[in-house]
Structure formats: structure tokens, C-alpha cells
Structure 1
Amino acid sequence: MVRRYWRVLVRRFAVWASPAHRAWRRSLQLRVVTLTLVASSLLVAAFGWFIADRSAKILLSRAQDEVQVSMRNKVGYAEQQLTVHPQARDPLLPRTFATIVGQLADGDPAESGGSVVSIRAGQSAELAPVTSPNVDTAELITAELVHRVSDDAKVANQIVTARVNGHTTKYLVTGSPVPTSFGHVELYYMVPLTTEDSAANQIRTTVLATGLALVIMLGVIAGLVTRLVVTPVRVAARTAQRLSAGLLDQRMKVDGEDDLALLAASFNQMAANLQRQIVRLEELSRLQRRFTSDVSHELRTPLTTVRMAADLIFAERDEFDPAVARSAELLQAELDRFESLLTDLLEISRFDAGFAALDAEHTDLVPIVERVADRLTGLAERVGVEIELRLPDTPVIAEVDPRRVERVLRNLVGNAVEHGEAKPVQVTLASDDAAVAITVRDHGIGLKPGEERLVFNRFWRADPSRARQTGGTGLGLSISAEDARLHGGWLEAWGAPGEGAQFRLTLPVRSGDRLLAAPLPLIPRDRAPALPAPGPAPAGDKAEVV
């Protein structure tokens, strides 16, 4: 019960302190001012306490010195008056006691402004103590002080706060033995420390007010100084944010010739250089894309002519010499490869130019997967690879562009067959309420750590020296990744040396929805779960369970 109560309190405090914690993390000025106030408060408090304590001790020491001088005079007077009495039983001795007290007392103790004098003969019980009128000294003269003065015959003092005649006052009580012919007589002199206490309180109040004003001034000065530094930094941060958003003409205002002005000038120079480089790179990229597109289009016309001639030669190859017939077959294969490369370049140029459009419609993905597998069966049989389909019995409907999805699957399955090393290739389809996923798993040479990101780069190959069966262009996976992004989906890869690779295509069921998880894991279920998958999973993937 207690633990739950404390947890509730801690949770409520965390909620209450959350805005302050957020402001503390985000504001440099707040941290500097707060730390300055805390440090200055500690220093001023320590210095103020030292000054106040030292002043109080000086005032008390001065009061003690004055009382000591006065006490010596009073003891001398009392000793002079008591020399005429040879013994304690002298009937005139009480009157002498009263005379001494009357002469030595000054002021009215009832007004908490006068001193109190008391004389007593502790060694003569028949002599009653005599004290200044209407003053009860029971709280002022303690047993400890009496013992030190009477038994030890020493001059002693102490500070006592007591209530005298209805007023609570602090007294400096000093006791001294008075030597006589009939034994020791004790004289006690009680001086109120009202003036010293008042002066000490005034000093404390003055130190406190001065320290508080000093702390406030330091806080204000720290805030102003920090503002002078933080404001240009904030301006630089906002300008950098605008630059990162594409507003390349943003600049900082340069005032003066100090370090902050130098920072602003350097920042502006950097922004100008970046703007020139970005504009130059954009122009080069635009020219490159235009060049690729123009070349691809321009090569279409001669390619068509060459294709017609090659088709004619290829159709008549049986009538040629075997070497010429083989040349005709090679010419036909390379023309197919060249035409595929031109097609891929044109598609890439459309993606680069932002002209690619999604023609989404509600489509059953099961027939698409089956159609891709059927078209690649011949290639799979030639290389000794079996394509295994793991498809649900019910239709899997999603709002996709069937042409692009089929192209992605054709690239994935074709690559898996090519790199399958005569081992089966599994194609799995699964879906849930929000997403549909297709995985293509091969058991070939696999991918090295880090290559699962490189496979989607243009013209990248894991092993350029390796003999290829299909003569790919090196752009298939790049186009497939662009097709997946156009759908708002993911195309991811996993691989391990000697364990094959698996590619996963994840698409939203409804076009435009945001993906949060995939129905199928990226890491194959047949892989050992103790080994972590190389490379981090994409943000939002909640289905990476082996």
C-alpha cells in the first residue's frame, strides 16, 4: 500500500515537473541564469553568515570587555564597603549589602534596559541574598555559575535568556568573589544584551537584504549577458533550419566586429558556399537525368532498326555457317540485354524526374505471384532450382499497381533463382488488416554484413566476376525499391554468407496508409535464432521475430 502510494506521488511529481524539465533541457539561457543564481546564492549566503556571525561575536566581545571593567570597579567598591565588618554576624552587614546593591545597580530592570546586581554570602547561611528590587534572579544565576564563583573562587560569566518582570531578555551574567575578613562574598552583575541583539539583528537584516539584492542583480546581469550570446545562436539555429528546409537564400545579420559578428559572417559564407554547391549539384543532376533520358530515347530509333535486321538474321541462322549462326544468336541476346537496359534507364529517369505515377487498383496478389513463378519456371529448370510457393487459400486483396508489383516480384524471384545455387527458392505471401508482405528466400551464397543496404544501389553487384545466367542490367533492385516507395511500402533485404538471402516486400492494404509492421519477418524462420540479423531493421518494423 505504501509503495503504491509513493509510486502515485512520484508519477504525479513527474507529470508536474515535466514542463520544467522540458524547459531546462531546451533553454540554455534558463540553465545559465539558474546556475548563476544558485552559485551566487550559496556564495552570498556563506559570506553573509560569516559577516553576521563575526559582527555578533565582536559586539558580544565588546560587551564582555565593558562588563569586565565595570565588574572590577564594582568588586573594588564592594570590598571597600565590607572591610568595616569583621564578622558575618555583624547586624549592620545586611544594611551594607543593600547599600552596595543600590549603589551598583543602574537603570530599571522592569523596562529591560537596566542591569541587575545581586550580592550573597554563600558560606554564611544567616546572611540572605540581596538583589536589585523586584527582580527574580532564579533563572539568571544558575547553580553552575554559583559553583564556579563560590567554590572555585573564580570570575565567571555566562549568557542566559530569561523572563524578568514579564520581559524575555538575554543577559550577560558575570559573577566574582569579593574577599572579606569573614570569608568570600559573591557579587553578580547581570547586564541585558538588548542593544547588542538589536545591532546584530540589524546587521543580519542588512546583510540579508544586500545579499538578496546582489543575487537578483547577478541574475539579471547573467540573463542579459546570456541573452547577448544565446540570441545569435538561436538566430543561427533558425537560419540553419530554414537552409535545411531548402530556403537557400537565408542569411544571418552581421552587427559589429566581435566574435559573434565573426560567427555570423562565417555562417553566411558557409551558407553561400553550400548554396552554390547545391545549385551546381542540382544542375549537374538535372543535366545527368536529362542526358540519360535523351540518350535512352535517341537510342530507341537505331535500336529498332538494328532489332529488325537482327531478327531477320536470327530467323535465317540455320542457313548460315555455324560460326555465323552463333554470332547471330549472340547478337540477338545482346540486343535483348541492350533493350532491357534502355527500358530500365527510362524507368529510372522517370523516377528521378518525379514523373512516375501509381495506377493503384484493388488486386488479388495470389495470381500475380503465380504468374511470376510460371514465367520463371524455364529459367529455374535450366539452373536446377525449384520454386516453392507458399500462398494462402483465400484471395489477398490490396490496393496496388499490379504492373509494378509484378515487376518487383519478377526481379526478386529472378535474382533468387540466379543466385540459388541449385537449391529451392521459397516465395511466401501473407497479409493482415493493414499490410501485405511477400518474402523471397534463396539458399545461395548470401550477403556479407552491410551488403543488405548496397543491393538496392544502381549497378551494384555482390560479385562482379561471377558468371551470370540472365544478364541483368544492375538496375532491377533499384527500380524495385522505387516501386515499393511509390506504394508507400518497404523493400528490405537480409542475408548471411553461406546461408542465402531473403527479400521482403511490404505494401499497405489501402493505398496511402502508413505502414507500422509487416505480417512476415525479415529474418527467415529457418535461420538459427541465436544469431542476430546483420544491420538494423527499418523504423516502425514490429514483426522482426524469428
Structure 2
Amino acid sequence: MSTPAPPASSTSTAAASPTTAPTDGAPSGDDPFADVGRRRRLAESLRTGLTVWRRSIQVRVVASTMVLSALVVGAVGWFLLQQTRDGLLDDRVEAVVAEAGNETAEAQDRLLAASGTDADAAGQRVQLIEPIVNRGEARGFAVVLAGPTEPGESLGEAGDTQFTPGLDVASVPPALVAHFADSSSPAWTYGRIRSEDDRGRSRSGPAVVVGSQVELPADGETYTLYYLFPLEDEEETLALVTRALLTAAVLLLLLVGGVTFLVTRQVVTPIRLARQVAERLAAGRLTERLRVAGEDDLARLATSFNQMASNLQTQIRQLEELSRLQRRFVSDVSHELRTPLTTVRMASDVLYDARDSFPGGTGRAAELLQTELDRFEVLLADLLEISRFDAGAAVLEIEDVDLADLARRVVDVTRPLADQRGVSVVVDAPARRVRAEADARRVERVIRNLVTNAIDHARPTSGDAAGAGAGAGQGDGTAADVVVRVEGDDRAAAVAVRDYGIGLESGESAMVFNRFWRADPARARTSGGTGLGLSISLEDAHLHGGWLQAWGRPGAGAQFRLTLPRRSGGELRQSPLPLVPTDAGSRR
């Protein structure tokens, strides 16, 4: 009793819901400020959620586990529902096809047992359909008896169609009707049964429709019996199974989420505690330790962390003690040297003043003694300044400073040294004042250190060019060996010192500020420097909240840039002058 007709509908119904106009919760009057506030709160909520997602391993693990579990449970639930649905429908179809076959066979037997002289076709149709209708009302199925129909004629248009009271004849699927136009074999398909109850209320539901044909002896015509078996019980069973699976899935997801949360909490909580302790250690609270509980891997990790913290504390205290002793030693030695240095200075001044009366070698020795004493005094002053920086005792004397005036003053002071080296130095500054709130003495010292350093490492041009560059005035740096540029904006002021000397190798721009460091150890300090000038300059820049940076390229020279905030305590974001000069590609 197979059928070639395809299924016509599913076994579940979808309840129609009334259509309502969408609302967005906007207040009456469409207040634009309320809409902006709502969007701002939504954006803030999204940012908070993304922040929690990025920073919390526990949230990511729990969410990922629940999403994967939901996918697995959904797939398994869908498979179980499909299997349950197919099983229920297969059993129901097998039962209704068998029942329809029995009804048709019994009806055919009744017709064959009728008197051969009975030629009342209408009476035979009533005798055929009434017992089936009565049994259908008792057993819960409906029946339609359709007489011979013309091709393309529906059951509702046939005048001799008889059916169960209240049944809509259109419930018989057209595909099944079309099947019997070409074949007489029984067939079945899915459809929807529509009917009205005693109170006139319409009902609709899924059904299995089985069709078979019988021959009426009175007129010799073939009639078709359509049996409509509702699937309401199967639909309720499937709905019950669906609700049970959904309830079980929700409970399972909650259980999985809770278990994942508890498991990750046991792992994440010690990690969070370790992070907090590490942050406190980084803040200088070296006595912080993790609490060790148990003997598992996390407990061993906490023990190792505490041992590492103890070792770091010991090392840091030793370094702090050594640094304190070093600073005190430098300070004490510097102060103790002042007294003998004063005595030696007095004796040296006497010898230097009388050098013309000494023989040639003795007079030259007096001059060398005076020069080295000058350098020694500068070194001693630099050591004292470094000790003050190390001890955190350096303070600023803030005033309104014009960096262009300071740069010109420094260039005038260092002019004899530049002339001695054959180096031309110019200042490139705007006509307006470039002012900043700073300590004039310290800023002038920084610029002087940068200029003398540039003179030491500049590559002198010919004497004529040098003289021309030195006398060229200010503002044109193309003819000079050292160019001092000054520029400023609303937030910062900067001074850049550019030379065209030997330059810096890769990585030396960070080392150049180390104490007593030299780019070329074999090179003499022609300016009488001590090797601490750039280190002190860097500390002065940091004391102002500014930057002191270096750039260099072998054979293309170097540039040092000092950047200071216009207002004391201001925050720097960028410098008015580029660190890499615009003529970095040229080679002098």
C-alpha cells in the first residue's frame, strides 16, 4: 500500500499571533536628548561588556563552554525530535492505512452481498457511507465518498460527494485526488483536516489522508473513499517531548555553566591573587606574599612565587643599600675634596701668575696645572650635581624663559671654542619669542652641553667657510657646521642641536646619555668635558617633565632635541621639532 504522492504538510501547527506596531521605547514627543542619552548608555554598556570580555578569562571560558554546549545540546535535541517525529508518524501511518484498508474491504463485501436486483445507486451509496461515517465519529476519523469526477473537477464541484457532517471537503489534498485520476491503487499522503464543531467554531489540524476505490454494483461506477485520520495525539506527544527536551537543555546548560564557573574559579582566583600581589610588589610593597594552601600545582606555584618575591626583595634591598652607599660616598668624597682643592687652587693661582718668571718648562707646567685644576673643579661640580639627582634633592626654580635668547647666549659663550675648532655655529629661531616655564640655569646648562658636544664631534669645513658660516648671522643653517634650532607651539617648546660630524651607530642614541660614555673612546675631549654633561642634561630634562632625545647616522652627523612643556607640570604629547632632521639624507 505504498503511494507515489509526496507529503503535503508537516505535523506541527503554528499559532497566528496578532501583528502589533513596533515600539522603540522613545518618550513622547521624540526628545532628541533622551535618544542621545539612550545611545550613550548603550555604547557605555557595550564598552563595559567588551572590557570584561577582554580582561576576564573566567567569563570567556564560561561563555565559550555554554555556547559549545548549547550547540551540542541543540544538535542532539534536533536529532531526537526528528527520530521521535518519524517514529510517531510511521506507526500512525501504518495503523491508519491498515484501518482504511479494512474499512474499504468491509464496505466492498457489503456491496457484493447486496441483492443483484437492487438498482438504486443512491441508496447503495447511503448504505456504503453511513456505517463508515458512524464508525469514524466513534473512532475519531472523517470520511469522504466521491463519485466519478471529470478531469480537473474538484470534490466540492461534484454533486454526488458525501462526507462526514461538519467536514470541509477541501481537506482532501488535490494531489491525492489527482492520483486516482490515473490509478486505482490505494494511496496516502499528509494534509490538514478542517472542520466545524457543533458551535460553529472552525478547527484545523494535521492529518493522514488515505484513499481507496470501490465499485458500486447498482451503476457499475467506481467511487473513491477518502479517510482523514487526525494527528492531534501525535502532535501533542511531540509537543510534550519538545517541552521536555527544552527544559532538560536549559537545566543542562545551567548545570554546565555552573560547573564551568566553579572549576575556572578554582584556577582563576589564585591567578588573580597572584596578579594583585605582583602589582603591589611592583608598587614597592616588597613584603607582600601569596597565601599557600594545599599541595597541588597552584600551591606549588604560590610557593615558587613567594620564593621569587623574597629573592627579589633581598636583591633590591642590597642594590638600594649599595646605591645609597655609592651616593653617600660620591657626596662625601666631593665635599671632602673641596678643602684640599681650594688650597691647591690658591697655590696654582700663585704659580700661574708668576709663570712668566719661570724657565720655559716650569712655566708650561704651571699653565697645564691651571687647566687641569679648572677641569677638576668642573668634574667635582658635576659629581655633586649627579649626587643630588641620585638623592632626589634637585629642585627647580621656575621662571618664564625665552629659549631663543638662551640659545643665542650659549652660542656667544661657546664661540671661542668653536673658533678654536674651526667650526661655525648658528641659531635658527623664529622672530617671535619661544617661551616656557622652566629653570633658566638648568635649561642653559642643557643647551650648553649639547652645543659643546656638537662642537666636539662636528666635522669642520675649510677656514673660509667656517668664517663665513660664523659670520653669517642667525637663521641660515645651511652654511654652518652646527645649527641650533628653536621652535614652539601652544603646548611645548623645543631646542634641537644639529651637527654634521661622525654621527652615531645603531643603538648608540640610547647609550649616549650614559655616564662617562664616549662614541669614540680614543677621541680627546677638546672642550674639557667630564663625560657627565649629557647625563646631567637628561636628568634636568626629566626634572622639567620634558624629553631629551638623540638621533644619529654614521657619516651624516647627529641631532639632539630638548622638548619642554610650555607650562610647568604640563604633559607632553609631541615636539614642535622633528627628531630626525629634514636633511638626514645629505652627507657633509
Same fold at TM > 0.5: yes
Distance 1:383 1:160, change over 3 A: same
Superposition deviation, residue 352 in structure 1: 0.2
Report percent identity of matched pairs. 47
> Where do residues 39-438 of structure 1 align in structure 2 (5 Å cutoff)?
39-84=68-113, 90-105=118-133, 109=137, 114-122=140-148, 131-136=162-167, 138-149=169-180, 151-165=182-196, 166-178=202-214, 182=220, 184-392=222-430, 396-423=434-461, 424-438=481-495
* Highest RCO, 1 vs 2 (Cα 8 Å, sep ≥ 6): 2
Superposition deviation, residue 356 in structure 1: 1.0
Contact 1:360 1:399 in 2 (8 A): yes
Q: Which runs of 5+ in 1 are unaligned?
A: 1-7, 532-546
In 2, Cα distance between the equivalents of 1:134 and 1:522? Answer: 98
Q: Which runs of 5+ in 2 are unaligned?
A: 1-35, 152-157, 197-201, 462-480
Superposition deviation, residue 249 in structure 1: 1.2
Per the normalisation by structure 2, the TM-score is 0.80
In 2, Cα distance between the equivalents of 1:142 and 1:49? Answer: 29
Distance 1:188 1:368, change over 3 A: closer
In 1, Cα distance between the equivalents of 2:225 and 2:89? Answer: 21
Distance 1:73 1:502, change over 3 A: same
Superposition deviation, residue 55 in structure 1: 0.9
Deviations 1:364-410, CA, capped at 9 Å, x for gaps: 44553333223222211111112223345565554332222222122
Deviations 1:30-71, CA, capped at 9 Å, x for gaps: 222222222122221221121122111111111112123223
Contact 2:404 2:434 in 1 (8 A): yes
| TM-align CA RMSD | 3.1
State the match for 1:542 in structure 2. none
In 1, Cα distance between the equivalents of 2:418 and 2:270? Answer: 65
Q: Give the letter for the 1:460 counterpart.
A: W
In 2, Cα distance between the equivalents of 1:97 and 1:139? Answer: 20
Deviations 1:91-116, CA, capped at 9 Å, x for gaps: 2554344334333345665x9x7112
Contact 1:459 1:474 in 2 (8 A): yes
State the match for 2:543 in structure 1. 486
In 2, Cα distance between the equivalents of 1:406 and 1:128? Answer: 117
The number of equivalent residue pairs is 517
Q: Give the letter for the 2:379 counterpart.
A: L
In 2, Cα distance between the equivalents of 1:434 and 1:136? Answer: 89
Distance 1:67 1:503, change over 3 A: same
In 2, Cα distance between the equivalents of 1:394 and 1:168? Answer: 92
Superposition deviation, residue 315 in structure 1: 3.7
Per the normalisation by structure 1, the TM-score is 0.85
In 2, Cα distance between the equivalents of 1:51 and 1:108? Answer: 33
Contact 2:173 2:191 in 1 (8 A): no
Contact 1:97 1:130 in 2 (8 A): no
Q: Give the letter for the 2:321 counterpart.
A: E
Superposition deviation, residue 202 in structure 1: 1.0
